[in-house]
Amino acid sequence: MRKINWGIIGLGNIANKFGDAFYSINNSQLKAISSKNKSKIKNFKKKYNIENQFCFENYEDLINCPDIDIIYIALPNNLHHEWIDQCIKLKKNVLVEKPALMTVNQVLDIKNKLSLNKVYFTEAFMYKFSPHMNVIIDQILKGSIGELTHMISDFSIKAYKISKIFGFTYRKPNLMDRKYNKELGGGSIFDLGCYPLSLSTQIANIKKKFTTEDIKISNVKKNICESGVEISASCKIQFDNDFFSNISCSFENNSDQKTIIYGTLGNISFENTWKPNSNFKIKIESEKEKKIIKCPVNENIYSYQIKEISDQLIGLKQNPEKPAINIEEILLNTLIMTNWIDYKV
């Protein structure tokens, strides 16, 4: 069977997690890498057994490589638009790390270029490809909790150091870390909040198709650090189909990353929404029944994403059950996300 050859642009922490997934995949392989950092290239080359000829210091050289079927862009957020654009111009398929783009205008620009150049393009929300999402969506479609009404969802991890000196609290973000650098597209909303936001729009769409014009954001709370980015944030998203979602994100504390989806007959709840593990469980409480569905996720969660996309590129799945996020969904999520970021508290 033909294998899909992947290339990675940008060799940070997320690229390492992505690269590890190829150890358990048989329909594709990590073929090429590119970074401005020679040390990272050296380490990646050794770790993943990349041939010399497929190690590039120039991103364009990788994109131009005829042996590569698809590029995974794992660069800082502020560089996504430029290199998505380059990939599309050179007719190369693209998986870009979330958030795909930082502004609505950037999304509209890429949308226009995709209409002129037929390439595969999607955003790297790996959880959407995981088997636990299939089970959750299936239970909703079966009517286990009745008609959908609202949901709550959170993604918080402790990634921000707070020092206390003589009774005073000091927050000193490391601007070398992209998470706290506004120019690099940092902030907890871009980094974490995009997850519960993307799930909210997906679940809301199951209830009933909605229009983007009438989506309203309220109950906004944000904690802004010295670098100008939010280290924690929350809001309520009201869709025009009588569905709403309360979402939150934070760099300040670890949470169980819980999601609860409510319906007229009960609710579905689950923890570790974004990174399910071998003990993953889905709890259903309704007027009809109370049950727990075990749904162990034993593989590297990025592997499901890579296998699914590779199958689509090979042509094995013309109508996948878990379609990749398309440009219209990216536009919707970017609109909500930027409104949340720009909202004056």
Digit-coded pLDDT (tens) for 199-229: 999 999 998 777 777 799 999 999 998 888 9
Percent of the chain with pLDDT strictly greater than 90:
80
In this model, does residue 276 exceed pLDDT 70? yes
Digit-coded pLDDT (tens) for 162-193: 555 545 555 566 666 788 889 999 999 999 99
CA 345 – CA 47 distance, rounded (Å): 46
At residue 164, the pLDDT reads: 55
Domains and CATH numbers, the chain: 4-124 (3.40.50.720), 131-296 (3.30.360.10)
* Strand-pair partners of 28: 4
In this model, does residue 323 exceed pLDDT 50? no
DSSP string, 152-217: EEEEE-----EEEETTEEEE---TTSGGG-GGGT-SHIIIIIHHHHHHHHHHHHHH----GGG-EE
CA 331 – CA 179 distance, rounded (Å): 22
For 252-264, what is the mean pLDDT? 94
In this model, does residue 302 exceed pLDDT 80? yes
Instruction: Give the type of residue at 340.
Output: W
Confidence band of 252 (pLDDT split at 50, 70, 90): confident
For 290-313, what is the mean pLDDT? 94
Digit-coded pLDDT (tens) for 10-48: 999 999 999 999 999 999 999 999 999 999 999 999 999
* Strand-pair partners of 279: none
Digit-coded pLDDT (tens) for 90-146: 999 999 999 999 999 999 999 999 999 889 999 999 999 999 999 999 999 999 999
Percent of the chain with pLDDT strictly greater than 70:
92
